[in-house]
């Protein structure tokens, strides 16, 4: 049996409002917020007594979602948010944008920093890695028409 689709990617943060604002500025839409706690949640995630606030963000085409989670209990542990791209584990999320320069200009007030350079690959695309709040690493790609 094969999977039907991908539902979402989860990202744990310490400042849910800042993360939501960052992804909204990128163009994602807030699908909803919810308080999470209780036996069901604890059973799924494997943490007894957990309490968290989550925000589900979706892309404008309604195909992809990012679940942002801020835990009140237990306290979040350092997951090495500033790890470089070659560290093991989930490292980045990639987005296609229509105007890379404009997107960078809008994200900078939200703490976005270009990791090194904006680069052009042949005559196909311009791309760069950006660190956002909590050290979240995203790749932005603008394809040439």
- The segment(s) of the chain belonging to CATH 3.10.180.10 are 9-73, 93-143
Give the CA distances from residue 26 to residues 18, 69, 96, 104, 131, in Å, rounded to whole numbers and listed in that order.
Answer: 12, 18, 10, 9, 13
Q: For 82-94, how does the pLDDT look when each residue is reduced to its tens digit (9 = 90+)?
A: 677 677 677 889 9
Superfamily of domain 93-143: 2,3-Dihydroxybiphenyl 1,2-Dioxygenase, domain 1 (3.10.180.10)
CB 129 within 8 A of CB 117: no
What's the whole-number mean pLDDT along residues 12-33?
96
CATH of domain 9-73: 3.10.180.10
Integer Cα distance of 64 and 70 in angstroms: 20
Residue 131 has pLDDT above 70, yes or no: yes
> How high does pLDDT run on average in the chain?
90
| pTM of the shown model | 0.87
Chain segment 51-110, per-residue pLDDT in tens: 999 999 999 999 999 999 999 998 887 777 667 767 767 788 999 999 999 999 999 999
């Amino acid at each position: 049996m094969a999977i039907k689709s991908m539902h979402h990617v989860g990202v744990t943060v310490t400042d849910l409002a800042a993360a939501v604002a960052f992804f909204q500025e990128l163009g994602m839409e807030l699908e909803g917020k919810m308080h999470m706690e209780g036996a069901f949640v604890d059973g799924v995630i494997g943490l007894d007594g957990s309490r968290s606030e989550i925000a589900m963000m979706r892309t404008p085409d309604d195909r992809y979602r990012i679940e942002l989670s801020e835990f009140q209990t237990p306290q979040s542990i350092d997951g090495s948010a500033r790890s470089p791209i070659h560290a093991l584990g989930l490292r980045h999320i990639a987005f296609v944008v229509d105007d890379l320069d404009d997107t960078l200009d809008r994200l900078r007030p939200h703490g976005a920093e270009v990791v090194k350079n904006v680069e052009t690959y042949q005559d196909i695309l311009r791309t760069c890695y950006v660190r956002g709040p909590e050290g979240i690493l995203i790749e932005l790609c603008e394809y040439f028409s």
